[in-house]
Amino acid sequence: MNIPSELKYTKDHEWVKINDDVVTIGITDFAQSELGDIVYVEVETLDETLEAEEVFGTVEAVKTVSDLFLPVSGEIIEFNETLEDEPEKVNSDPYGEGWMIKVKCSDVSQIEGLMSADDYKSLIGG
Amino acid sequence: MKNTALTKTHEALGAKMVPFAGYNMPVQYEGVNIEHQTVRQGVGVFDVSHMGEFLIEGDQALNLIQKVSSNDASKLTIGKAQYSCLPNDHGGIVDDLIIYKIKDETYLLVVNASNIEKDWNWILSKNDVGAEMKNLSEDYSLLAIQGPKAIEAMQSLTSHDLAAIKFYNFVVGDFAGIENVIISATGYTGSGGFEIYCKNTEVKQVWDNVFKAGADYGIKPIGLAARDTLRLEMGYCLYGNDIDDTTSPIEAGLSWITKFTKDFTNSEALKAEKERGSERKLIAFELDERGIPRHDYDIVDANGNKIGVVTSGTMSPSLGKGIGLGYVPTVFADVNSKIYIQIRKKAIPATVVKLPFYK
């Protein structure tokens, strides 16, 4: 299972890439493989400011619907619109072309509360 | 949790296994979309050995079957199969099933895995005529070999001419080196092919030979997830979703298997329902916008009032849009009617369409 060491993770199987106060968020390789073929990514919270743990969107596989939880508080400033037509990018390239949103953090200290790659690896029993 | 005779085979192939109807079953191997396309364009194999098989025999066999089933089994000749259902006493459906006439006074009933015990007890309770009943479910396996290339890919495994077996006909004969196999031109995918019934002790040999014979045709194992998307694209009812103990065969669109040429359980009430018209109907719909309908989502009208419930829904792999089945009042059931599916906070517009979704 691919778990890049430079990223941060959540117990909800999301990854977070930090670039100053803007973070990019997607779901992990483990999450996409558990979900199976992803057929729809819905994010209707663009330009909204949400608290950490709030639902920012939904990812749908053929058989399941899963909520997407915001790892850190902030404004959702970008949605990866490629996923509207090619949601399968989340399966094929979860850490690259399958990224989901960019968030401008309102409290960068929350980033420190995220999991390291090693912690995440233990969480999924790697 | 029960296993089929092939559970270890599925695990060795890397299948994702899930509990289904009390069995440990493969839900997918490589991925639902590729498996779906394999069946639509080539040939794929499902282990559906969880399905139940009852043998009904004796000079009262037909009499019992006619009492419990909605279709007219007296029309069956040897080598023909019939889709039917078991109505209950209060307007609903105990199960849907396929009835095979194996020989005179011998019929095979194939029922849903989740209903084996319920169906057995139900039929037994109606057997005041003394037909002989045997439950073979634990001894028999079932492989569905489905897709447009199934006939060509499997022909080398049998001396019977597979192309000559018409839809809903079957032969009992040799297959993959095993004798007395039922080769049935039936299935739950809409893409043609066969269902193969053999003993648990024989099914591994059949499975292995099927994959050898199909190798040049790109044959793949197919899981239950693709079975569901395939059947839903055809609008085939799934018991427990689209039909159940509370839905009548008339409102479910199963009038074509409900024949009032004979008396059967609750037939007078069903006949009356057919004559006066059902209050609600099972409809097929496509979403006009992006989104995926799911089992139990509300169906609403233009003003947001709930008018019904989605019973099955998915993203159609073949059509690339959200499709589903659900019950609505008859006034909303005409083709081209506009309805809305409540998906989270939004009511997504949808159009009532004719089945099948995939043509």
pLDDT for the residue numbered A55: 96
Interface test with A, best of B17, B18, B292, B348 (most A CBs within 10 A): B292
Q: What is the DSSP letter of A89?
A: H
pLDDT for the residue numbered B189: 98
State CA B82 to chain mean position distance. Answer: 12
Query: Which has more pLDDT, B168 or A62?
Result: B168
Confidence of residue A62 (pLDDT cuts 50, 70, 90): confident
Q: Per-residue pLDDT tens for A15-47?
A: 999 999 999 999 999 999 999 999 999 999 999
B232 to chain A: which residues are within 8 Å by CB? none
Whether the CB-CB separation of B235 and B256 falls below 8 Å is answered with no
Query: Across residues A63-91, what is the average pLDDT?
Result: 95
CB contact (8 A) between residue A36 and residue B229: no
Q: Per-residue pLDDT tens for B14-49?
A: 999 999 999 999 999 999 999 999 999 999 999 999
Assigned token pair, B131: 């037909």
Q: Name the residue among A66, A63, A42 with its Cα closest to residue B312.
A: A63
Chain A residues 65-124 with CB within 8 Å of chain B: 65, 84, 88, 91
Whole-structure pTM value: 0.93
Write out residues in chain B with pLDDT < 50, as ranges. none
CB burial readout B268-285, b (16+ within 10 A) else e: eebeebbeeebebbbbbb
Radius of gyration of chain B from Cα atoms? 20
Residue B130: CB atoms within 10 A of its CB come to: 11
Residues with Cβ within 8 Å of B93's Cβ and at least 6 positions away in sequence, in order, are: B85, B86, B87, B239, B243, B244, B245, B247, B248, B249, B252
List the single residue in B with minimal CA-CA distance to A87: B320
Between CA A126 and CA B301 the distance in angstroms is: 49
Confidence of residue A125 (pLDDT cuts 50, 70, 90): confident
pLDDT for the residue numbered A1: 85
Please tell me the distance in Å from A92's CA to the nearest CA on chain B.
Answer: 12
Q: Per-residue pLDDT tens for B281-292?
A: 999 999 999 999
Full set of structural domains in chain A with CATH? 8-107 (2.40.50.100)
Full set of structural domains in chain B with CATH? 7-49+138-233 (3.30.1360.120), 52-115 (3.30.70.1400), 279-359 (2.40.30.110)
B209 and A CB contact within 8 Å: no
Backbone phi and psi for residue B173, each to the nearest 5 degrees, phi listed first: -170, -155
The predicted complex's ipTM stands at 0.82
Backbone phi and psi for residue B99, each to the nearest 5 degrees, phi listed first: -115, 125
Confidence of residue A126 (pLDDT cuts 50, 70, 90): low
Between CA B77 and CA B159 the distance in angstroms is: 22
Whether the CB-CB separation of B73 and B83 falls below 8 Å is answered with no
- DSSP letter for each residue of B261-278: TS--TTHHHHHHHHHH--
Between CA B50 and CA B354 the distance in angstroms is: 31
